[in-house]
Amino acid sequence: MSCCAGFLLSRVSGCFNSAVYNVCCRPCGISSSKATRIAYAIVFLLFVILARLMLIDQAKIFLLKIKPLTEEISSKDLTKLVGFSGVFRVCWAISIYFFTMSIIMIGVKNSKDIRKGFQNGWWSFKILFIFGLLICAFFLPNRFMYAWSIIGAIGASFYILIQIVLLIDFAYCAQAYLIEKWESSESKKWIIVLLSVTFGLFIFSIVITSLMYIYFTDSSSRELSLIFISLNIFLSTFISAISVVPKFQEANIRAGLLQAALITAYSTYLVFSAVYTIPLRKFENLSDAQHKLKDFAKYAGESFTFIAIAYSTVRTSEYSSMSALGVKSFDDEDFPLAQGHDRGDSGDDELEGCRYNWSFFHWTFALASLYVMMLLTDWDQIAFHTDGTLNLSQGVMGTVWAKVVTSWVALLLYGWTVVAPSVLKNRDFT
């Protein structure tokens, strides 16, 4: 597994040196800062694929042959926990790498900083470092999973908050882009795309909500599930309604149903993810349909993560609505090149100021690694059995409430972006 990862990462390192950038990326109008972010996103994607591979039967059979990986694990959960152990170790390696990069890049203001080489180059060294972390991960004792599962749950919860902000900003940018294209070209295809995506997301939310009512409101958790689902319906309907109120649209011309549809879909996914992990439910008694829905929830969660990660690699301040969230965009006035300054002969567009906060960028990827780890392992917690062995503690109420509360935060935060310009009239939200 580690050898395969090392080979793939070595190929990536060769794709993002300065020579390849000048030949491939620069003629296409891709700035060096954006090319760097794309490179990190590809590395992250490769590790997500590797982590998911740890859950296939062939990988579990291979890991079971490595005796140290089976020590101190309860025989009841051995096969499942060995697969989870592989996921934990892969995600540990990539999250430690991004945490390290985040610390190293604190305080960088422009590419004249000596740390520029480590951020935008030195890929061979960085790939070797990541590969070394991956090897070290498989030498960690199994007991590390207990502490790492707790750290993962906390980090994943923080990432959800970051992802909410990114998804809200993405929704605003997507609608502004589609409307601009429609107005400039007068082609109906852009408005058709806008309407199709909007109603498609609403249909997704309606279908998932219906499935929750059908399959996850059994007697063991009926009351709590009904409260979570019903409250999500109420809040989603409320934020969708205020998105088309004329008074709010006059103050915030970018407000619309696309944003409400995306945030409704995301909050519905979070509630769905919470409902099927309520501890009162007997997991071994889940029907085939319920198991398929659980797998679907994983894919949905990964999709939202990839959207947020992809957006964070290419976003600019042109359509950004970060100011409406009270969040300073890192592409704004403190960074002159974000306003279209010349890149110079070297193609470096960050000589006078960074296009994005390098440290926060890596911090986001580190937390995203923890989020993917928890997503792939169903947010299960590792616990010590009475005999001292490790076993699974399925469905922890702490993680259930974390997901439900963040779904409320997502809806209320978007609602605030809609009404804030009308309430705080003296503040500039452009």
CA distances from 417 to 95, 242, 272, 312 (A): 31, 11, 25, 19
The answer to whether residues 86 and 57 touch, using CB atoms and an 8 Å cutoff, is no
Give the chain's end-to-end CA distance (angstroms, integer): 48
Distance CA 351, CA 348 (A): 6
Instruction: Output the six-digit token pair for 74.
Output: 């309860």
What pLDDT score does 376 carry? 87
What pLDDT score does 383 carry? 72
Q: What angle do CA 52, 58, 62 make, to 5 degrees?
A: 100
Helices (H), 65-143: 78-104, 116-120, 123-137
What pLDDT score does 425 carry? 67
Distance CA 59, CA 359 (A): 34
Q: What angle do CA 13, 309, 113 make, to 5 degrees?
A: 55
Among candidates 13, 78, 28, 85, which has minimal Cα distance to 54? Answer: 85
What one-letter code names the amino acid at 419?
Answer: V
Among candidates 160, 394, 362, 369, which has minimal Cα distance to 285? Answer: 394
The answer to whether residues 183 and 394 touch, using CB atoms and an 8 Å cutoff, is no
The answer to whether residues 259 and 172 touch, using CB atoms and an 8 Å cutoff, is yes
The answer to whether residues 35 and 16 touch, using CB atoms and an 8 Å cutoff, is yes
Rg, C-alpha atoms of the chain: 23
Map out the domains of the chain as residue ranges. 2-423
Among candidates 376, 307, 402, which has minimal Cα distance to 89? Answer: 376
What are the beta bridge partners of residue 399? none
What one-letter code names the amino acid at 304?
Answer: F
List all residues 6 or more positions away from 352 whose beta carbon is below 8 Å from its beta carbon.
110, 335, 336, 337, 341
Distance CA 280, CA 228 (A): 15
What pLDDT score does 395 carry? 59
Q: What angle do CA 217, 221, 227 make, to 5 degrees?
A: 70
Distance CA 63, CA 57 (A): 10
Digit-by-digit pLDDT tens for the chain (430 residues) are: 545 555 555 455 445 444 444 434 444 456 677 788 888 988 999 999 999 999 898 888 888 888 888 887 776 778 888 888 899 999 999 999 999 999 998 988 877 778 787 888 788 888 899 999 999 998 888 888 888 888 998 898 889 888 888 888 888 888 888 888 888 877 788 888 889 999 999 999 999 999 888 887 766 667 888 889 999 999 999 999 998 888 888 877 777 888 899 999 999 999 988 887 776 554 455 566 666 777 777 778 778 888 888 777 666 444 445 544 444 444 443 433 334 444 444 556 666 677 778 888 899 899 999 999 988 887 777 776 666 677 776 657 777 888 899 999 999 988 888 888 887 766 655 5
**Exposed, middle or buried: residue 374 (CB in 10 Å: 0-12, 13-18, 19+)?**
buried
**Exposed, middle or buried: residue 311 (CB in 10 Å: 0-12, 13-18, 19+)?**
middle
The answer to whether residues 200 and 220 touch, using CB atoms and an 8 Å cutoff, is no
Among candidates 3, 2, 23, 27, which has minimal Cα distance to 14? Answer: 23
